[in-house]
Structure 1
Amino acid sequence: MSTRTLYLFSSAAPPAFDVARVIEEAQAAGWDVCLGLTPTAARWLSDSLDGLAALTGHPVRWDYRTPGQPDIWPKPDAIVVAPATFNTVNAWALGLTDKWLVGVVAEGIGKGIPIAMMPCVNRAYVAHPQWEQSIDALRGAGVRVVYGEGGFVPNEPGQGNPATYPWHAALEAVADVLHTA
């Protein structure tokens, strides 16, 4: 079996602290995992970045490379964005690519890369009028959005439990998206 490359992209939400376990699960399923983070998530995980790079065999990325600098990762077969915060989802849907992670997935849509996204937001955020527009825009662009029953279900503000974040649903969705691509 040839190895498939998965870009695992995480925003700064509490489930990101469990990313090492998720990397191991994805590797056990045959993925070569490259970990990308938002700048805030990279700051949150700063004490673990070397260990995460060793676990994946690739540098952890969170910023754009300079022009002419070679890409240090293999090309992705698929991308999963989880946890995706309110900011990441809306920036992506609106095409606001000041953050490297959002730039990669925005371009990934145009390149036809299979992408799954699972948010991590509370009910106060999803009450904002932009939220559903962003979810609809990403779905309309072909992104598999793992949100609602069978995926991530928002909680009341301050009531989230990172241990119950359904990482398995994100990994299953990206495998399914790749299979159907």
Structure 2
Amino acid sequence: MTERVLYLMICGAGPAKHVDVAIKLAQEAGWSVYCIATPAAVEHFLDLDDLHQLTGHPVRTGYQRQGQPPLPPADAVIVAPATYNTINKWAAGIADTYVLTQLAELTGLGVPIAVLPFVNTALANNAVLHRSFEVLRSSGVKVLFGPGGFEPHLPRQGGRALAHYPWRSAIEAME
């Protein structure tokens, strides 16, 4: 049986501190997890050595360097925690980071993708976010927002929402 490859795109938001939960759930479901992180996730939330040890693969934070092995082709992608910034840039076609470039390509290739946002109610009330969700959905992306997915928290209350972040919903969306 061939290995199922899951790219876990990690953005800079509070749940990133607990991305090990998603990795373990994915591994239990038979996925080999490759983490790809935004600069903000790396700077503020992640321990790259711990993630490397947990997944068995180095965390990709930028374009492939000479001598660095290429990532295997993805069978599925999860973007979590997906920030307001990443969601809107991705939907607008802006590819100014490695993660956004990869998301643009993977969307265009038709690879199954689920996006699990982490936004507060103020950001969630912006029409631009809902337009971005519709653009992503029209491209085949599963947007896990609302009942059964992520439900926004009040501004400055994100810390209280961490324990209830629905990592499992994202893994199940890829099965």
- Please give the range of the TM-score, normalised by the shorter of the 2 chains: over 0.9
CA 1:71–1:40: 2 relative to 1, 3 Å: same
Paired positions, count: 173
Cα root mean square deviation, aligned: 1.5
In structure 2, the residue matched to 1:20 is 20
Structure 1 window deviating more from structure 2 (31-40 vs 20-29): it is 20-29
Using the TM superposition, give the Cα deviation of residue 100 of structure 1 relative to its aligned residue in structure 2, in angstroms. 0.7
- TM score, norm. by length of structure 2: 0.93
Looking at structure 2, the residues matched to 150 and 14 of structure 1 have their Cα atoms a distance apart, in angstroms, of 20
Using the TM superposition, give the Cα deviation of residue 69 of structure 1 relative to its aligned residue in structure 2, in angstroms. 6.2
Looking at structure 1, the residues matched to 24 and 81 of structure 2 have their Cα atoms a distance apart, in angstroms, of 17
Using the TM superposition, give the Cα deviation of residue 10 of structure 1 relative to its aligned residue in structure 2, in angstroms. 1.2
List per-residue Cα deviations over 1:71-108 (Å, max 9, x = no partner). 53211100000110000000100010011111111111
In structure 2, the residue matched to 1:51 is 50
Alignment of 1:151-170 (within 5 A): 151-160=149-158, 161-170=161-170
| SS of equivalent to 1:8 | strand
In structure 2, the residue matched to 1:87 is 85
Looking at structure 2, the residues matched to 21 and 81 of structure 1 have their Cα atoms a distance apart, in angstroms, of 14
Task: Name the aligned partner's letter for residue 4 of structure 1.
Answer: R
Looking at structure 2, the residues matched to 81 and 155 of structure 1 have their Cα atoms a distance apart, in angstroms, of 19
Structure 2 unpaired stretches of 5+:
none
In structure 1, the residue matched to 2:40 is 40
Alignment of 1:8-157 (within 5 A): 8-46=8-46, 48-65=47-64, 71-157=69-155
Structure 1 window deviating more from structure 2 (139-148 vs 20-29): it is 20-29
Residues 148, 169 of structure 2: 8 Å contact kept: yes
Structure 1 window deviating more from structure 2 (126-135 vs 28-37): it is 126-135
| SS of equivalent to 2:174 | helix
Looking at structure 1, the residues matched to 126 and 45 of structure 2 have their Cα atoms a distance apart, in angstroms, of 29
Task: Name the aligned partner's letter for residue 170 of structure 1.
Answer: A
Looking at structure 2, the residues matched to 78 and 163 of structure 1 have their Cα atoms a distance apart, in angstroms, of 25
Residues 117, 170 of structure 1: 8 Å contact kept: yes
In structure 2, the residue matched to 1:178 is none
Residues 11, 86 of structure 2: 8 Å contact kept: yes
| SS of equivalent to 1:149 | coil
List per-residue Cα deviations over 1:140-166 (Å, max 9, x = no partner). 100011111110011110122211101
Residues 96, 102 of structure 1: 8 Å contact kept: yes
Looking at structure 2, the residues matched to 154 and 73 of structure 1 have their Cα atoms a distance apart, in angstroms, of 33
Using the TM superposition, give the Cα deviation of residue 57 of structure 1 relative to its aligned residue in structure 2, in angstroms. 1.4
In structure 2, the residue matched to 1:179 is none
Residues 38, 98 of structure 2: 8 Å contact kept: yes
Identity of aligned residues (%): 45
| SS of equivalent to 1:61 | coil
Q: Which runs of 4+ in 1 moved over 4 A?
A: 68-71
